[in-house]
A and B are shown apart, each in its own frame.
Chain A
Amino acid sequence: MSLCLPAASGCAARSSYSRSGYSPPSQAYAGSVAQPQSVQEVSVASASTESTESESSSGDSDESPPSEPSADAPAPPPPAAAQAPARPPASREAQAALGNTVAHGATTPATTTARGPAGRTTPAPGGAANNVTAPAVAEATPPAPMLIYTAAVDISVRRAEITATLDRVVDLAYSMGGYLVQRTDAQVQVRVPSARFREGVRRVEELAEVLHRTINAQDVSEEFNDLEVRLTNLRAVRRRLEEFLARAANVAEALRVAQELERVTQEMDRIEGRMRFLRARATFSLVTVTAHPRSEVVVAPDPLPGSAVRRPLDLPVVWLERLGLGRLLQLR
């Protein structure tokens, strides 16, 4: 066998993994007021990704915490006769009942001051009454964005250590107050409290060599605000309907009002469910860890275990990394 090689032979490009630059936000991810700048430091997922994430709750079968829900499923459509005429009066009545405080999202954070578990403003009971002194506060502190964080971390570990490493990820999640979502042979998904998201990602990265990581932040503040406003409106409508029902002159009128009352209640349930879902997603961040086996032949143990090892020569010569049985015996 004779070969004549060009001069460039043997000069292969170095293969390396990409390690995306990630500067996590400088403060707790949720449960505090995150500044817009910090949100932009992380890569924001595309709209399609966000949609998948937020709507895939049914896939996370073993999620336990906050009752997440069936609320995502669309409510059954109301009878056609009741639907059309009901909406405009509902809105007018609601505004009248609340004294015109329900502008679309604008006054909500100020008028409702109770903070949810994810640091979001949530409707306070009797929220309409609180708006006497709130506008000044609203101008001083902008509402905290509701962010849903997800992280995907690819790690490289020895094949024999994949299971143990993924076990450690699960243990880590539990120790931080999180929980397991899904587990396969080489991948694990856990949720950790968003307030400890940054710490969680850092501790996961300490478990093994990181090949790649992606951090996404999905801002659902607008949707949450919309839901809050709609819920407030519907509460007012329900109150008025209940009053109408109490004053109904005959059975036919009572039936019509009861039908509308039922539709409004269903809509409120659906909105509350969706709000619970968003709050839960923002409260617990999803961390997906995928383990890739390190191609390595590991052989006899160190002849002098525990002995001090001097720093080895690390030449930037690619072919040295390709020596050994691992590649030699791989014929495909």
Chain B
Amino acid sequence: MTTLRRLPLLLALSLLAPACASFHVNTPNGFAELEDDSRYDYRATNADGVVIAVRVMRNEPEASLEFWGRVVDERLRRQGYTPEGNPEPVRSANGVAGVMFRYGATVGGRAHRYQVAVFVRAKKVYVMEAGGDTEVFDPAAPAVARAFGSFRT
């Protein structure tokens, strides 16, 4: 009887599951998650203004990781971001393949760092970003790396 009562709920959950684009990030120590942020699906900042963020988009036009990685890289270079090193192949905590790019940029006359990782699944593209003034970003780099390492799709 109990199983029968739960059946509609289980059925509804199973129907909803394919439409969900869930992910998980551990907010590192020293960072606070920003709630009600309509522009990002996840965003956290530390007291120095280093920001980590995640956005989930539809994989439209449907394309591979290689395609989206190149598109993102080209767009950022065109905006004037200077690549720092080569693209790094990465994997999410649950094994989804991705690619990470690191850049330098000057904002308001000050040097900044910006890094972005792209993960692609069949229907979704996940973009994880981090950035901040170089002076405060470098000390926070280990925490940022931990957050990127904890990312699961």
What residues of chain A have their CB less than 8 Å away from a CB belonging to chain B? 1-7, 9-11, 296-300, 312-313, 315, 317, 319-329, 331
Contacts and interface: CB of A to CB of B under 8 A. Distances in A.
Given A10-B56, A329-B132, A1 B22 contact: no
Contact of B24 (A1, A319, A321, A323): A1
A312 B74 contact: yes
Contacts of A329: 49, 51, 107, 131-132
A299 B75 contact: no
B20 A300 contact: no
Contact of A325 (B22, B75, B107): B107
Contacts of B146: none
Given A300-B104, A325-B112, A328-B131, A3 B74 contact: no
Given A1-B25, A320-B71, A329-B51, A299 B81 contact: yes
A5 B41 contact: yes
B80 A298 contact: yes
Contacts of B74: 312-313
Q: Main SS of the interface on chain B?
A: strand
Contacts of B27: 1
Nearest to A316: B61
B21 A324 contact: no
A313 B107 CA distance: 25
Given A10-B58, A11-B58, A328 B51 contact: yes
The residue among A296, A313, A328 with the most chain B CB atoms within 10 A of its own CB is A328
B34 A331 contact: yes
B76 A5 contact: no
Contact of A9 (B41, B75, B127): B41
Given A2-B22, A313-B71, A325 B33 contact: no
A326 B27 CA distance: 22
Contact of B107 (A2, A297, A331): A297
B49 to A, nearest CB: 7
Counting from the closest, the 3 A-B pairs by CB-CB distance are A299-B80, A10-B57, A300-B82
Contacts of A317: 57, 60, 71
Contacts of B61: 315
Contacts of B12: none
Contact of B56 (A1, A2, A5, A325): A5
A331 B31 CA distance: 14
A299 B19 contact: no
Given A9-B21, A319-B55, A331 B105 contact: no
Interface in B17-40: 19-27, 33-34, 39
B148 interface: no
B116 interface: yes
Interface string B78-101: 111110000000000000000000
Given A1-B33, A319-B55, A328-B114, 12 more contacts: A10-B41, A10-B57, A297-B79, A300-B106, A323-B75, A323-B129, A324-B76, A324-B79, A324-B114, A325-B131, A331-B43, A331-B45
Given A299-B82, A327-B39, A2 B116 contact: no
A7 B34 CA distance: 22
A299 B22 contact: no
Nearest to A298: B80
Given A3-B41, A300-B80, A328 B23 contact: no
Contacts of B144: none
B119 interface: no
8 contacts: A3-B56, A6-B19, A7-B20, A9-B41, A300-B81, A319-B55, A320-B75, A323-B75
Contacts of A10: 21, 41, 55-58
B49 A319 contact: no
Given A1-B26, A319-B57, A328 B129 contact: yes
A23 B61 CA distance: 37
B53 interface: yes
Nearest to A296: B79
